[in-house]
């Protein structure tokens, strides 16, 4: 395989929502600095928001709410396991971010001169309506108008670490197999979470809620480089349109739809959360359904306009094919596969308010970062913050070149081993079994026996991956590297789940052997990092607090 070398000031790994914003901001700050992007797909349409979006999830609108309000709200949602600093900064910058997007032509509709701010959190209103089917395209065009070097179809494989700092990465072209050594003075990691983790109920490998290209590569690269991770035990799954993995809940409920369980009991009279709906399903009262037959034609058309254009155009064909008309038929919702995510959850590389990871030279944003339930707002804001911090850091580094020889030899050894083995199992078959075993041993409900067996099974499969899988093309090789990340994430998730000897976040970390929440011992992050013996090292750390509260307010939180 050919090997190329490229030098840059800033390397961005992942061209989704956080990555595209990081590239734009880096060029705003210093047009002369060199910026390179590794993007596994095509940056114009990549990431979890490949097209449009119906809302900016978190905006602290002056006169309606404040950053302090938001932090209090998200502490409730994360049940206390959150560093307040990054969440506060994200909320603090959210209004200016929205106005910036608006100045770029992103549509935030106004009604009677006011923005529409919806309630999707426990207490306050922070979700600002957006009507922008071409969101990602508009942002990509801003990058394309700079001299940013975007290497599409390039998967990052390893960080290059030199003298204790991240000094670049090695990537691979997923079509040609060519290897690329990128020497960088700073690296921004925006590679998404682990969407392809548990196996969906329909058995389809790529029928997942988030971007199927996200296989935990970023988590594992950061872990192997020595960075700290947290929230790996937060094994969430959502409850969305059954069989198509598209959001619908808050699009409809905020516009008057009803939410019903299998007994036709209404669940929307309070504030239904994903956790509460999953609990209803676990009790045997699913499938939960959305009913819109009582809404006016104007209201239904408005929902269809959002769902069929901005959110996911494929939904229109999906419902027509099943004969589902919102005016007469309910819409079935169902649980997604188990996955790991910073945007919807709290899994990710630990970062501070400057988006800096625990190892110098590495900055993170989006689903790969531990900014609790930051959603799209968190991706955009921390993409910008990462660019600002990386730009300042670059000015302190004289020579960004590092020795990649050892990393290149390891990658080459793996590739040669796959080419020379006598395996007869396809990578698709192997991935199916891996993810079925994740459902069996790593996903909730969890217990000590299952989790330990999960580590044993996954460790064995990690070895078998390079002994029993046959590869006939570059596409197979890419999938082997992806499956290795999935397995490694499962092992770390099991270790973190074993450490948290309690149940928290509803079903997402439910341990029948420790069925109760234990704030006394576990109102803490489970920090995971690579130990000196190459095994996971786990430490409990109290959440960071930045807001000043009275004793009464502290008790309420």
Residues whose CB is less than 8 angstroms from the CB of residue 405 and which lie 6 or more positions away in sequence, other chains included: none
Q: Mean pLDDT in each 10-residue stretch from start to end of the chain (557 residues)?
A: 94 98 98 98 94 92 95 94 97 98 96 91 90 95 98 98 96 97 98 97 91 97 98 95 84 91 92 88 94 96 88 88 95 95 97 98 98 96 98 92 93 93 94 98 98 98 96 95 98 98 97 98 98 94 84 54
Cα 356 to Cα 348: distance, rounded to the nearest angstrom = 13
Integer angstrom CA distances of residue 510 from 190, 235, 341, 498, 507: 29, 10, 18, 11, 5
Closest C-alpha among 433, 441, 557 to residue 498: 441
pLDDT for 556 equals: 55
> Which pLDDT value is given to residue 248?
81
Query: What is the spatial distance between Cα 93 and Cα 67, in angstroms, rounded to a whole number?
Result: 9
Structure tokens at 313: 């155009």
Which residues does residue 540 pair with via DSSP β-bridges, in sequence order?
A: 526
Given a contact cutoff of 8 angstroms between Cβ atoms, the answer to whether 156 and 37 are in contact is: no
CA dist list (Å): 326 to 296, 307, 334, 374, 423: 11, 12, 17, 31, 50
Q: What is the pLDDT of residue 549?
A: 58
Taking alpha carbons only, the member of 243, 248, 437, 215 closest to residue 340 is: 215
Query: Nearest Cα to 11, choosing from 180, 233, 258, 251?
Result: 180
Architecture of the domain made up of 3-236+339-394? 3-Layer(bba) Sandwich (3.50)
Q: For residue 386, give every residue at least 6 positions away whose Cβ sits within 8 Å of its Cβ, in sequence order, or none.
A: 18, 22, 188, 190, 355, 363, 364, 365
CB proximity list for 233: less than 8 A, separation 6 or greater: 493, 496, 497, 499, 500, 509, 526
Domain with CATH 3.50.50.60 in the chain: 3-236+339-394
In this prediction, residue 272 carries a pLDDT of 85
- Give the integer Cα–Cα distance in Å for 350 and 370: 5
Q: For residue 481, what is the DSSP state?
A: H
Q: How many beta carbons lie within 10 A of that of residue 113, not counting itself?
A: 5
**188: phi then psi, degrees, rounded to nearest 5:** -110, 120
Give span(s): CATH 3.90.700.10, the chain. Answer: 239-335
What is the pLDDT, as a whole number, of residue 149?
98
* Beta carbons of 537 and 530 less than 8 angstroms apart: yes
What are the structure tokens assigned to 352, written together? 């501070």
Q: Which residues pair with 236 in a beta bridge?
A: 339
- Lookup result for tokens 């409850």: 239
Q: How many other CB atoms sit within 10 Å of the CB of residue 198?
A: 25
The domain defined by 239-335 folds into: Flavocytochrome C3; Chain A, domain 1 (3.90.700)
The predicted pLDDT at position 554 comes to 56
Q: State the pTM of this model.
A: 0.95
Q: Is the dihedral of CA 142, 147, 151, 155 positive or negative?
A: negative
CATH architecture type of domain 405-523: Up-down Bundle (1.20)
Counting Cβ atoms within 10 Å, is residue 324 exposed (0-12), middle (13-18) or buried (19+)? middle
Rg over CA atoms, the chain: 23
CB 78 within 8 A of CB 212: no
């Amino acid at each position: 395989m050919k090997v190329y070398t490229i030098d840059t000031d800033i390397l961005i790994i992942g061209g989704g929502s956080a990555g595209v914003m990081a590239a734009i901001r880096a060029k705003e700050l210093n047009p002369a600095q060199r910026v390179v992007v590794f993007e596994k797909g095509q940056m114009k349409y990549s990431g979890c928001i490949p097209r449009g979006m119906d809302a900016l999830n978190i905006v602290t609108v002056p006169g309606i709410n404040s950053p302090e309000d938001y932090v209090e709200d998200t502490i409730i949602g994360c049940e206390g396991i959150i560093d307040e600093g990054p969440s506060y900064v994200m909320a603090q910058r959210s209004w200016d971010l929205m106005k910036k997007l608006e100045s770029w032509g992103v549509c935030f509709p106004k009604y009677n001169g006011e923005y529409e701010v919806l309630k999707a959190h426990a207490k306050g209103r922070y979700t600002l309506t957006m009507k922008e089917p071409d969101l990602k395209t508009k942002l990509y065009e801003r990058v394309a108008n700079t001299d940013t070097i975007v290497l599409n179809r390039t998967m990052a494989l390893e960080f290059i670490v030199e003298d204790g700092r991240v000094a670049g990465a090695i990537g691979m072209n997923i079509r040609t197999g060519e290897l690329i050594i990128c020497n960088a003075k700073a690296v921004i990691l925006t590679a998404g979470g682990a969407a392809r983790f548990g196996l969906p109920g329909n058995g389809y490998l790529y029928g997942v809620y988030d971007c199927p290209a996200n296989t935990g590569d970023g988590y594992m690269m950061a872990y192997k480089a020595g960075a700290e991770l947290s929230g790996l035990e937060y094994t969430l799954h959502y409850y969305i349109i059954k069989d198509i993995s598209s959001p619908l809940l808050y699009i409809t409920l905020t516009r008057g739809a009803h939410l019903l369980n299998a007994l036709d009991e209404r669940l929307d009279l309070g504030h239904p959360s994903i956790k509460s709906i999953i609990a209803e399903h676990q009790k045997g009262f699913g499938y939960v359904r959305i009913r819109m037959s009582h809404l006016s034609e104007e209201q239904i058309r408005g929902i269809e306009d959002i769902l069929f254009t901005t959110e996911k155009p494929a939904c229109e064909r999906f419902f027509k094919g099943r004969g589902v008309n919102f005016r007469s038929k309910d819409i079935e919702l169902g649980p997604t596969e188990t996955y790991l995510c910073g945007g919807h959850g709290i899994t990710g590389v630990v970062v501070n308010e400057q988006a800096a990871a625990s190892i110098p030279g590495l900055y993170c944003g989006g689903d790969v970062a531990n900014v609790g339930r930051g959603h799209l707002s968190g991706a955009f804001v921390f993409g910008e913050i990462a660019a600002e911090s990386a730009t300042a850091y670059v000015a302190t580094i004289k020579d960004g070149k590092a020795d990649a020889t050892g990393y290149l030899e390891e990658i080459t050894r793996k590739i040669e081993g796959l080419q020379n083995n006598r395996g007869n199992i396809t990578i698709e078959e192997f991935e199916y079994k891996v993810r079925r075993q994740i459902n069996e041993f790593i996903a909730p409900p969890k217990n000590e026996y299952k989790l330990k067996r999960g580590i044993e099974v996954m460790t064995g499969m990690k070895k078998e991956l390079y002994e029993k899988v046959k590869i006939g093309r570059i596409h197979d090789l890419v999938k082997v590297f992806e499956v290795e990340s999935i397995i490694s994430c499962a092992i770390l998730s099991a270790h973190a789940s074993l450490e948290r000897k309690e149940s928290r976040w509803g079903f997402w970390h439910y341990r029948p052997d420790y069925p109760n929440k234990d704030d006394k011992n576990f109102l803490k992050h489970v920090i995971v990092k690579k130990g000196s013996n190459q095994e996971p090292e786990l430490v409990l750390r109290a959440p960071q607090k930045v807001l000043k509260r009275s004793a009464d307010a502290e008790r309420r939180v």
